[in-house]
Amino acid sequence: MSAVKEGDYDGIREQIRGIMKQPGYDDGSAGPVLVRLAWHASGNFSLVEHTGGSNGAGMRFPPESVDPANAGLHHAISFCLPIQAANPWLSHSDLWTLAGITAIEAMGGPKIPWEPGRTDYSTAEAAAEHRGDISERLPDGALGADHIREVFGRMGFSDREIVALSGAHALGRCHEDRSGFEGQWVVNPIRFSNQYYKLLLRDIWKPRKWDGPFQYEATVAGTKLMMLPTDMALVQDPKFKPWVEKYAADQDLFFKDFSMAFAKLIELGVERDDTGFAQLVKKAAREGKPLDQTAQPSGGGCPFAGGKKRDAKL
């Protein structure tokens, strides 16, 4: 793979699209696991301890790299390595988050605001000292609505944003040798759409009889599908369910809300000396609001304008 000019993020996006076709991997695409990499690299942030988040690329080191919740993500990191090797000016943490949003768009999803400027931990010791204990911060698919709110509330997400982010389950599948769960959520797991919500609302889900952890199953269009307890909690909870219904009925609304929520997710934990997008995300997280319902911070410009790379200090 050839290098692109430093700061040419459109060129990096093209290289990411170039690694998405993976005939020997799930459904022939690296797209879903790239999205999961961006999600898991970011979704361990805490507003209380102010640790975790996408900055640093801590998943390159133990204990984060061997956390059972991150099982299988070494595939995504490996897919990204040729891009990183050809472009050493690009941080792993910027690459992982950019790969996630590029994959979503390439699979038919919305454009997601993104800014560069993340930096990487140089050693495992630096990661441990700065990041602290971020174990058990990611969702457990075996649990219910209270757990979901605890996990996402720690990052400053509202019920609306929680349901929107859950729509990422339109992509990919579970693997028994990783999470213990097995199967895909939708018929086409490499196409981003609102089918996940439509399927959740159908009265077709039955407990699966097998030796693995409790999950639901159904057959749709000749394809065996599954849902996790955390998925079904979205239709069992009276505050979550209206958003499931809205997104099932209106894909444009889902795309808009998902774009804002995912942009907020991958920015959490990134420190910048500016008053634009990063400051808006911090304010939205503190207030527990979606980005488009959060008033601009004092002195802030357009939150979704492109910007030059700015180093984040660790």
Distance CA 227, CA 233 (A): 10
- Give the up-direction half-sphere exposure of residue 79: CA atoms within 13 A in the CB hemisphere: 31
- Contacts with 6 (C-beta within 8 Å, 6 or more apart), sequence order: 87, 89
Give buried/exposed letters for 223-254 (b at 16+ CB in 10 A, else e). eebbbbbbbbbbbebeebbebbbbbbeebeeb
Q: Coil, strand or helix: which one is 87?
A: coil
Q: Please, are residues 216 and 208 in contact by the beta-carbon 8 Å criterion?
A: yes
Q: Please, are residues 231 and 195 in contact by the beta-carbon 8 Å criterion?
A: no
- Told to judge if 169 belongs to the known catalytic residues of this protein, a careful annotator would answer no
Q: Given 40, 96, 169, 205, which residue is catalytic?
A: 40
Q: Given 114, 185, 205, 243, which residue is catalytic?
A: 185
- Told to judge if 185 belongs to the known catalytic residues of this protein, a careful annotator would answer yes
Which tokens hold the place of 286? 């503190």
Strand order across the beta sheet in which 206-207 lies: 173-174, 183-184, 223-227, 216-220, 206-207
CA neighbor of 228 nearest in space, from 159, 151, 157, 173: 173
Phi then psi dihedrals of residue 273, to 5 deg = -95, 65
Distance CA 77, CA 69 (A): 15
**Where are the extended beta strands (E) located within the chain?**
173-174, 183-184, 206-207, 216-220, 223-227
Cis amide linkage into residue 63, ω under 30° from 0: yes
Give the catalytic positions in this structure: 40, 185
